[in-house]
Amino acid sequence: MCGITGFIEWNRDLSGELDLVLSMTSCLEARGPDAQGTWISGPCAFGHRRLSVMDPENGAQPMTLQEEQAVFTIVYNGEIYNAPELKEELRQRGRHFRTNCDTEVLLQAYIEWGPDAVERLNGIFAFAIWDSVREHILFARDRLGVKPLFYSEAGGTLVFGSEPKAVLQHPKVEASVGPEGLAEIFVIGPARTPGHGVYRNIQELLPGQVMIFNRSGLRRFSYWKLEAQAHEHSIEETAAHVRTLLQDTMDRQLISDVPVCTLLSGGLDSSALTALAVDYYRRSGQGQMHTYSVDYEGNDQYFKAHSFQPGADAPWIKRMVEELGTEHHWITFDTPELVDALTDSTLARDLPGMADVDASLLLFCREIKKGATVAISGEAADEVFGGYPWFHRKELLESGTFPWSVATELRASLLSPEIRDWIRPEQYVADRYSQAVAEVPYLNGETEDQARMRRMSYLNITRFMPTLLDRKDRMSMGAGLEVRVPFCDHRLVQYVWNIPWEIKTVGGREKGILRKALEGLLPEDVLYRKKSPYPKTHHPDYLAKVKGQMLDILDNPASPILPLIDADKIRSIAASPEASSNLPWFGQLMSGPQLFAYLTQVNYWLSHYRVTIR
């Protein structure tokens, strides 16, 4: 994994802009701590930070291939999991290779097939290719949006980067936010509307899209979207096919020239991936798999089960470590570390995020990085297979809004009257929800219940899943750790998307078809364990600390957040023990403490990035 950036100005020779390219590239150092490279030719400037995973000796970027007078240069972030097959096919078509890295496979594929090459890729990626023949730059992003790509077009200049921080380094792009950006922060956040960069004039290339920039301007088109198709397999055939797809995906994603580990929570998803990884390591003679888990000081004392988090993870982690014989690493954090990391996690995301959930993941990834460069994670299984509570609770299924964020009225009440009138928060959320629902492809003849579940699945894959993928990318790459997410394989996602709900929940259980597919791989008690999300701290000191920080912000007249919020409303929440601890706010993990932490992140973001509101 890497960090990419650059800019294009058709009417200028950029050879004198090396310092700017270096500035844009250097701010992505955490994404690629192993090497840095730049390339400038005429109107095009590229920068790259490298995290070496495959062919460390020969995979330097930007990478250029020249054929007669034609020049092709790439900057690329990601992994192409079917690179060996593509390489063999390209060799049969007469192409010659000088490295063993997937970067060259990707560039050679583009030279051979042009923009159509993206349809042949199985992987996670964001890249830019300069093509001197067509005199354009082609950008592309993977089908599920695992790897990010932000851009800004202004005054004939196109600026791009893996993260907003790189784009903001360019003098033509300012850290400014308008009414839409504020609505994204205060009523959609920490989620984001697909393609919305929050900052004024910064956008994100959508998952499954290609973008071409030439002298005529900018053109975008989709090369992949979810398609509604009839499902013709029986329950047994469906389970077998899911198992086959997952096994093939894991075999591809475990290939690496650097140490690989798995993240193990003891839940269904991480346990399944770890079991498959252990099996692959045994088959390939690679020795013992290392696993990592995260927990918090005091959770054994203060954890209380509830519908979103029904049980502690530690006993189940021990169960799987003993079952699989992994070398396990227990990572534990205390409250002061989580509070201090709120600022670092904001810097990693360039935006306020999932509060202590972001902060703990950043700290976790830093610890993992000490022993591994690549980690396997179970992200996306709940979105793809329907594991979240809102798939199964009638009031959330019929809420008429995003079910992970039903407290729009409460969130709007936190805003100052002037900002509320300006951004119209309730209407903004309603419009974004209507936009999402209008995209859903249905199958002819579906019943109302079938259409409802298809709609819920679509919303989770296209609206909620990106929030967690953003989080995983920024926090892991903020520590120089590559995280692979097998449940985001597009073949698996497309197949499961069309499995009827009654088969997805076979056995009367959430993710029933996944459990059936994994029979014989996991112990029965783990296989049918109730879902538990990524762990968070339950220590009352955390609430006390973040609440105290927020009250200090409210007492400081120079705090940049003050004109945007209703300070009295927030003080009243802080004064209510019940509201401040159990306030339903966002998703499964973010309640009262996370609300205070999020608002402190907003204040820090406004100050550190010198955000202007206009």
CB 313 within 8 A of CB 293: yes
Is the backbone of residue 198 left (phi > 0), alpha (psi -120 to 50) or beta?
Answer: left
Active site residue 101: no
Number of C-beta neighbours around residue 283 at 10 A = 9
Q: Select from 343, 411, 346 the least CA-distant residue to 184.
A: 411
CB 128 within 8 A of CB 110: no
Residue ranges in 460-539 assigned as alpha helix (H): 465-477, 490-497, 501-504, 512-517, 524-527
CB 51 within 8 A of CB 480: yes
Q: Select from 89, 59, 86, 91 the least CA-distant residue to 75.
A: 59
d(CA 224, CA 209): 7
Token pair of 11 as six digits: 């009417």
Token pair of 252 as six digits: 């591809």
Q: Select from 492, 484, 521, 522 the least CA-distant residue to 255.
A: 484
For the purposes of burial, counting CB atoms within 10 Å of the CB of 46, is it exposed (0-12), middle (13-18) or buried (19 or more)? buried
Token pair of 383 as six digits: 């979105």
Residues 6+ apart with CB under 8 A from 227: 441, 494
**Helix or strand (DSSP H, E) at 252:** helix 235-253
The residue behind tokens 């701290």 is 537
Which one-letter amino acid corresponds to residue 433?
Answer: Y
For the purposes of burial, counting CB atoms within 10 Å of the CB of 253, is it exposed (0-12), middle (13-18) or buried (19 or more)? buried
Q: Select from 459, 462, 455, 460 the least CA-distant residue to 501.
A: 455
d(CA 78, CA 478): 15
Residue among 2, 27, 101, 365 flagged as catalytic: 2
d(CA 169, CA 160): 10
Which one-letter amino acid corresponds to residue 41?
Answer: S
CB 213 within 8 A of CB 158: yes
**Helix or strand (DSSP H, E) at 63:** strand 63-67
Q: What positions carry a catalytic annotation? A: 2
